[in-house]
Every structure is written in C-alpha cells, then in structure tokens.
C-alpha cells in the first residue's frame, strides 16, 4: 500500500488560503494533473492538480477551511496498484485537517514543493483563469459549504464509491469560484445557464463574459422575456409644427399602472351583448321617482348590481394572485371600482359592498363618487379596495373596447353604448336594445370557462332584471 499525501503548496506570499471547492470525492479515481481541489487567496484562485494517479482515500480538509501555512496535508490518494484495504483509517492518520500528524506509511506530495517520489509530470499549482484581478474587492464567502468532510472512509465504501462515484460536492452543484459567482451575480447571470470551459466544466470568468456578450448580441425577440424593444425617438418637428406638454400626475400614474398591468397580466377579453330592452323600459318608468329623489338613474347601477351577483356566483373572478404565484386570495366582499373620466385624468373610485345595496342607493353613490372624482375631491380611501372594475363608456358611444385589467384585480368589465338592433327571436326580427359588454380577465387566475360563465350570467341578469332580486 502506498499513499500519497497532497499538501498545501507554497502560499506565494498570501497570508491565508481557503478551500473553496473540493472537486473530487472519496473513492474517485484521479489522473495525474486532474484538479483535486481549489484554493483561493485574497487575490488568486489556484486549482490543485493531482501529482499521481490513484484513488482518493480521504480528505483532511473540508470546503470552507482556511489554511495559513504551506505544507498542511489536504488529502490522501492511494496510488495505483496499492491495495485499498490499507486505508488511512488503518494508518491512524488523524481526521483533523490542520496540524494533522502524517502516517509514517504515507508519502508526502506537495504539488508546488515536491518532496516525495513522483511521476515525471509532477505539476505545479497554476493560478486558474478566474483569478481575481488586482483591483477586485475582498472575496465573498462561497456558496454553502459542501458535504465533503474530512472523515475516513471504510475500504468497502471506497470500493463502492469508486464504482459509482458521487458527483463532486460544489455547494450549488456548479463549479465556479467566488469571484466568478460574484461577477455572475453582478451581471444578473444565472450560473446554471453558463457552460463552463474549465476543468470539470468549471465556469470561468471568460465563460460568464462570453455568455453576456452572446445575450447582448441576440435579437430582443429571441431573448424570451428579456428587455422590451425601445421605441425609436422621432423628431416630430421635421414633419410639421408641434408643441410639447407634461402629463398630469394622474396621467403619469395611470400610464405606470396600465403599463404594469399590460406587462404582467396575460389578458383575455370575451364579448357578449345583453338584451337590456326590459331594463330600459323599467328605467324609463322610474324617471319620475328619480327626479323626486334627485338621482339620475342610468344603466350603471344595474350593471354594478349584476356584477356583484355574478362575482358572488363565480368567485374566481373575485380573487387575486398572491405574490408567490402559487396561491390566491379569495375576497369575501364585493367592492367595485368604477372608472371615471375627469379633466385631470382617469380615476377609479370604489363603490363598497355593492351586494348589500339597492339600485337607488347605488345610483346615488355613483353620482356622488363621479362628481367627487371630477371635482378632484376623492379621498385615497375612496379609491382603494376594489375587487373588480367597471369601465362604462356607454354615454360616449362606441361598439366595444378591450379594457385593461386593473391588477391585482383579475377582471374588468367594459361597457359600450347600448343600441337598438334587430334580433331574431326564432320567428321574426325584433327591435331590441342591446348592450355590448367586454370582459377582460387575468388568464393566470381566470380560465375561459370561468370568464364565459361569469359573462353569460351577467348577460342573463341584465336581460331579466327580476333576477337581480334573487
Ligand atoms: N348605453 C347607452 N346610454 C348610456 C349608457 C350605455 N351603456 N351608459 C350611460 N348611458 C346614458 C345614461 O343613461 C345617461 O343618459 P340619460 O341621462 O338620458 O339617462 C347618459 O348616458 C350619461 O350618463 P353618465 O355618464 O352621466 O352617467 P353613467 O352613470 O352612465 O356613468 C360614469 C357614470 C362615472 C361611469 C361616467 O360618467 C364616466 O365617467 N364614464 C367614463 C369611464 C371611462 O372613462 N372609462 C374608460 C376607462 S379606461 O380608459
């Protein structure tokens, strides 16, 4: 039995080196020059090559160990031809890494300062390509220490491991020094996506740089969710007279909110028309009472009420996605946002507990909140807590539009202008007042079936307002 002890080489003036990576495992067959472990000083990373061919018998250090002296034994290798039964455990060599007494049977090999008989090609420790530049700051701690420990392995275990060697422990499972890890972190590069060109696929500084260069050179569309292509700057004045102006504060906030929703929410919009002929007839009959009450009765309060019922019966539309993307929050209340067009921009006051309020009460609240919005008198509280939003452009016109979900809500109803249309009743065309509806929803939470059921019920509720009482 011949055992080689591999020791810490000359530290080259460094006060301390750290074992930052153990590149092989007990039982691994190693060849001459194969990297055994990686040491890092303040300024350089050194891969320690094997001076002999053989089987790794045991480690006398673990990842994260800091070594201050050259000559400290690091690991032992059973040289080819030696019998595995003579393991270090039997030689009585200590398991503790620092200052461990060397077995008399073991030979000592220091790659940089060779003392023991060695193959002709006894290597010297070479600074790895990812050596930290002079100007680089103090190295950061490595990824979590790996499971390689300096415990003797029984012979049987060595044999089994040699047949089926475990992957070398590297903490995160990727071979890369702290400098490379830090570089990757700073550049936002996921190391797992970089192919390492170093020994044992070790990721080098050059690999990270090449990865970034390649990504930057890729067309944006192929980047798969990377940057948004910039809109080219246009000199409008070249084509005619122009003036410039500043967006209002509300305008800027709206732009930011819309952009956020547009980018985060996979939108689907479904369309349907509600036959509101009976609703309109009923509404006209209420005009007198509306005047008495001093309230304008428009279709909006009916739509609010119908939405609250449809939300109650289709609770998926009354959810929000939790930040972790794996959970949802189910709201048990029914507060509805109502988009209001104001001279200063779009505002969305919230009508609370719509399910518990009657049509007159809702009509009065819609008028009050609309007036407050236009007068710039809404409080922050009056604009918070919505479950779902209604955007009614019915008074303005238009046959349909696709509203943007007001995330983290998951649904929004766009209401367009009702118009009398010929509708086939199976025997004849009848003039019916049809209200175009568009339901946009967050497809991460709401499926087409959920959206379809919600919209179908909404259409039914508005087509037969007796159902609003149920
Ligand atoms: N179809 C036909 N007529 C409609 C209608 C519809 N869908 N909705 C409302 N109307 C009628 C009303 O009945 C009213 O007419 P009458 O006085 O004859 O009854 C008239 O249009 C004006 O209504 P209104 O706008 O004063 O009141 P409202 O309750 O319909 O709406 C509010 C209130 C606050 C929703 C509305 O004023 C508003 O600001 N809408 C704009 C919303 C918006 O900007 N959305 C886009 C957001 S995303 O960019």
What's the CA-to-centroid distance between 341 and ligand 1, angstroms? 10
Give the position, in ligand 1's atom list, of the atom nearest the Cα of 416. 7
Dump pLDDT digits (tens) for 71-80. Answer: 999 999 999 7
Fold of 130-220+243-264: Dihydrolipoamide Transferase (4.10.320)
Distance CA 470, CA 449 (A): 23
pLDDT tens track for 187-211: 888 888 888 887 667 788 888 888 8
More confident residue, 39 or 397: 397
More confident residue, 183 or 124: 183
Per-residue pLDDT, 64: 84
What is the per-residue pLDDT for 82? 54
Read off the DSSP letter of residue 429.
E
Res 332: pLDDT: 98
Distance 396 CA to ligand 1 centre (A): 7
Higher pLDDT, 431 or 325: 431
Give the pLDDT band (50/70/90) at residue 219: low
- C-alpha 108/C-alpha 4 separation (Å) is 6
What is the rounded radius of gyration, in angstroms, for the C-alpha atoms of the chain?
Answer: 37
pLDDT at 117 over 50: no
Q: Does 1 contact ligand 1 (Cβ within 6 A)?
A: no
Return the percentage of the chain with pLDDT > 70, whole number. Answer: 77
To test the ligand 1 pocket, which listed residue (341, 394, 409, 436) has its Cβ within 8 A of the most ligand atoms? 394
Measured between alpha carbons, how far is residue 209 from residues 170, 184, 196, 295 in Å? 21, 9, 11, 68
pTM of the model: 0.59
How many residues are listed for the chain in this entry? 470
What is the number of the ligand 1 atom nearest to the C-alpha of 418?
A: 1
pLDDT above 80 for 90: no
With cut-offs at 50, 70 and 90, classify the pLDDT of residue 173. low
Distance 12 CA to ligand 1 centre (A): 81
Provide mean pLDDT across the span 389-410.
Answer: 96
Cα 441 to ligand 1 centroid, rounded to whole Å = 22
The closest of 87, 213, 102, 92 to 156, measured between CA atoms, is 87
Average pLDDT estimate for 138-155: 29
Q: Helices 277-285 and 299-313 meet at what angle, rounded to 10?
A: 130
Tokens, residue 447? 């499926």
- Mind telling me the catalytic residues? 443
Q: Residue range 368-376: average pLDDT?
A: 96
Q: Locate 114 and state its tokens.
A: 């060779």
Integer Cα distance of 408 and 330 in angstroms: 12
Would the pLDDT of 237 be above 60?
Answer: yes
Residue 244 has pLDDT above 90, yes or no: yes
Mean pLDDT, range 434-461, rounded to an integer = 98
Does the pLDDT at position 467 exceed 70? Answer: yes
- CA atoms of 268 and 441, how far apart (whole Å): 6
Do strands 66-67 and 17-22 pair parallel, antiparallel, or not at all (unpaired)?
antiparallel
Q: Are 58 and 87 in contact (CB under 8 A)?
A: yes
Looking at 106-115, 219-228, 296-305, 366-375, which range is the least confident one? 106-115
Task: Sketch the domain layout of the chain as residue ranges.
Answer: 3-109, 130-220+243-264, 267-469
Q: Write out pLDDT tens, residues 307-323.
A: 999 999 999 999 999 98
Same fold, 3-109 and 267-469: no
- What is the CATH topology of the domain spanning 3-109? OB fold (Dihydrolipoamide Acetyltransferase, E2P) (2.40.50)
Band (149; pLDDT cuts 50, 70, 90): very low
Q: Domain 267-469, what architecture?
A: 2-Layer Sandwich (3.30)
**CA 463 / ligand 1 centre spacing (Å):** 19
176: tokens are 């890369």
Preceding amide of 408 cis, omega within 30: yes
- Residue recorded with tokens 């070479």: 126
pLDDT score of 232 more than 50? yes
Label residue 73 exposed, middle or buried (CB < 10 Å: 0-12, 13-18, 19+): buried
Angle at 179 between CA 174 and CA 182, to 5 degrees: 80
Higher pLDDT, 369 or 96: 369
Q: How many CA atoms lie within 13 A of 227 on its CB side?
A: 9
pLDDT band at 395 (very low <50, low <70, confident <90, very high): very high
> Ligand 1, residues 257, 298, 418, 419: which to mutate, most atoms within 8 A of Cβ?
298
Higher pLDDT, residue 216 or 155 = 216
Do residues 64 and 145 make contact, with C-beta atoms less than 8 angstroms apart?
Answer: yes
Q: What are the structure tokens assigned to 290, written together?
A: 């509306």
- Which has the higher per-residue pLDDT, 119 or 429? 429
pLDDT for residue 115 is more than 80: no
Question: For residue range 256-269, what is the model confidence (pLDDT) as tens digits?
Answer: 999 999 999 999 99
Mean pLDDT of the chain: 80
**Do 423 and 435 form a contact (C-beta atoms < 8 A)?**
no
Cβ(171) – ligand 1 distance below 6 Å: no
Ligand 1 close to Cβ of residue 366 (< 6 A): yes
Q: Which residue in 373, 411, 395, 316 sits closest to 403, CA to CA?
A: 411
């Amino acid at each position: 039995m011949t055992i080689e002890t591999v020791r810490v080489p000359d530290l080259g003036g460094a006060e301390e080196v750290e074992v930052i990576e153990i590149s092989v495992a007990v039982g691994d067959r190693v060849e001459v020059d194969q990297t055994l472990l990686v040491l890092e000083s303040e300024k350089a990373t050194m891969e320690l090559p094997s001076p002999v061919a053989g089987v790794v018998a045991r480690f006398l250090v673990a990842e994260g160990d800091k070594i201050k002296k050259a000559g400290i034994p690091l690991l032992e290798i059973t040289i080819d031809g030696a019998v595995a039964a003579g393991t270090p455990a039997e030689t009585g060599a200590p398991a503790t890494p620092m200052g461990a007494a060397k077995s008399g049977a073991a030979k000592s090999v220091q790659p940089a300062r060779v003392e023991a008989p060695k193959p002709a090609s006894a290597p010297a420790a070479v600074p790895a390509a990812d050596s930290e530049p002079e100007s680089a700051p103090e190295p950061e701690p490595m990824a979590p220490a790996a499971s390689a420990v300096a415990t003797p392995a029984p012979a049987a275990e060595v044999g089994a491991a040699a047949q089926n060697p475990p992957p070398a422990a590297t903490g995160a499972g990727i071979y890369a020094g702290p400098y490379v890890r830090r570089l990757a972190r700073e550049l936002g590069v996921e190391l797992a996506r970089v192919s390492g060109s170093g020994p044992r696929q070790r990721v080098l500084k050059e690999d990270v740089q090449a990865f970034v260069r390649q990504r930057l050179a890729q067309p944006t569309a192929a980047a798969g969710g990377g940057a948004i292509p910039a809109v080219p700057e246009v000199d409008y004045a070249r084509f005619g007279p122009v003036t410039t102006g500043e967006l209002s504060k509300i305008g800027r906030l709206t732009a930011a909110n819309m952009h956020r929703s547009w980018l985060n929410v996979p939108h689907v919009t479904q369309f349907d028309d509600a036959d509101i002929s009976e609703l309109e007839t009923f509404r006209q009959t209420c005009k007198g009472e509306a005047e008495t009450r001093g309230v304008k009765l428009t279709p909006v309060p009916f739509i609010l009420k119908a939405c609250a019922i449809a939300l109650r019966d289709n609770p998926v539309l009354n959810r929000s996605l939790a930040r972790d993307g794996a959970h949802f929050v189910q709201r048990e209340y029914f507060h509805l946002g109502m988009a209001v067009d104001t001279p200063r921009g779009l505002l969305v006051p919230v009508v609370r507990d719509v399910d518990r309020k009657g049509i007159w009460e809702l009509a009065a609240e819609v008028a009050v909140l609309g007036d407050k919005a236009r007068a710039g008198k809404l409080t922050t509280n009056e604009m918070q807590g919505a479950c779902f939003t209604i955007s009614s452009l019915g008074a303005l016109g238009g046959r349909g539009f696709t509203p943007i979900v007001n995330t983290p809500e998951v649904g929004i109803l766009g209401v367009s202008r009702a118009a009398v249309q010929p509708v086939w009743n199976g025997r004849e065309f009848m003039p019916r007042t049809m209200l175009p509806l568009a339901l946009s929803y967050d497809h991460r939470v709401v499926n087409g079936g959920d959206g379809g059921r919600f919209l179908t019920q909404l259409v039914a509720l508005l087509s037969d307002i007796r159902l609003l009482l149920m």
